[in-house]
Chains A and B, each alone.
Chain A
Amino acid sequence: SAVISQKPSRDICQRGTSLTIQCQVDSQVTMMFWYRQQPGQSLTLIATANQGSEATYESGFVIDKFPISRPNLTFSTLTVSNLSPEDSSIYLCSAQARLNTDTQYFGPGTRLTVL
């Protein structure tokens, strides 16, 4: 299994600013992902964080708005840029420990409120 931590757990930000969320896994993992959960809605995949290369974004999400880094096999960051109230959501990091397995482990999430 993998234990995932996220920082910060919550934040309140002003419109137009940016927030960077950190995701730390307690062991090396092959794949890491970022999801968004808007109020009252389901989880939506933002992107796959690729180690040592650019992230792979899902339809409707772009690098300029959600830049992602993954410098090694245990750590990733997601930045939400140029914040607007519509960005108020819970952002979750997840990791898949090995290839050929469906099991993903999730972090506790970061609750972002944009004023």
Chain B
Amino acid sequence: GDSVTQMEGPVTLSEEAFLTINCTYTATGYPSLFWYVQYPGEGLQLLLKATKADDKGSNKGFEATYRKETTSFHLEKGSVQVSDSAVYFCALSYGSSNTGKLIFGQGTTLQVKP
């Protein structure tokens, strides 16, 4: 079945460092791909998404490109801030279109130190 695999955390970086969180997926068909973020004490928020191959999602300085050939959707940011400390979830949509069903990776905790 469909699945999502993320790199294990926690990831600890210094402020202004470059961030990569790896995400690979297995899917039949052509899912949409997402990154969600969960800040401490808050609910999940959609960070960015891509709906087809070679699409790049971007938001708040974060980017991820839908790579069908490598079945990947790695999250990157050029310069992280302390406020980026959170748990990041990669996810894909599955089932027929507009079902809204999501499969999540296990989450990666990011800690940014000043």
Instruction: Judge: A and B partners, yes or no.
Output: yes
Q: Show the binding face of A for B, using Cβ within 8 Å.
A: 4, 31, 33, 40-45, 48, 58, 92, 94, 96, 99-100, 102-109
Interchain CB contact under 8 A, A104 and B98: no
Cβ contact of B46, chosen from A42, A104, A108, cutoff 8 A: A104
Q: Is the interface of A mostly helix, strand, loop or mixed?
A: strand
When the two chains form their complex, are residues A96 and B100 in contact, meaning their CB atoms are under 8 A apart?
yes
B31's nearest neighbour on chain A, judged by CB, is: A102
Shortest C-beta distance, B6 to chain A (Å), equals 9
Query: Do B45 and A106 touch (CB < 8 A)?
Result: yes
Q: Is the CB of A43 within 8 A of B43?
A: no
Q: How far is the CA of A91 from the CA of B88 in the complex (A)?
A: 18
* B42 is an interface residue with CB less than 8 A from chain A: yes
Known A43-B104, A102-B51; judge A48-B43 contact (CB<8 A). no
Chain B contacts for A108, CB-based, 8 A = 41-43
B11 CB-CB contact with A under 8 Å: no
Q: A4, A42, A48, A99: which contacts B89 (Cβ < 8 A)?
A: A42
B99 touching A48, Cβ below 8 Å: yes
Chain A contacts of B41 at CB under 8 A? 108
With A42-B105, A43-B89 as given contacts, are A106 and B44 in contact (CB-CB < 8 Å)? yes
Whether the Cβ atoms of B107 and A42 lie closer than 8 Å is yes
Contact (Cβ within 8 A) B93 A42: no
Bound complex: CA of A93 vs CA of B44, how far in Å?
A: 10
Closest 3 CB pairs of A and B: A106-B44, A43-B104, A108-B43
Per the bound structure, the CA–CA distance linking A48 and B105 in Å amounts to 20
Query: How far is A106 from B45 in the complex, measured between Cα atoms in Å?
Result: 7
Bound-state CA distance A45–B2 (Å) is 13
B49-104 residues with Cβ-Cβ distance < 8 A to A are 49, 51, 89, 93, 98-104
Query: Separation in Å of the A32 CB from the closest CB of chain B?
Result: 9
B32 at the interface (CB under 8 A from A): yes
Question: Is the pair A92, B100 in contact by a Cβ cutoff of 8 Å?
Answer: no
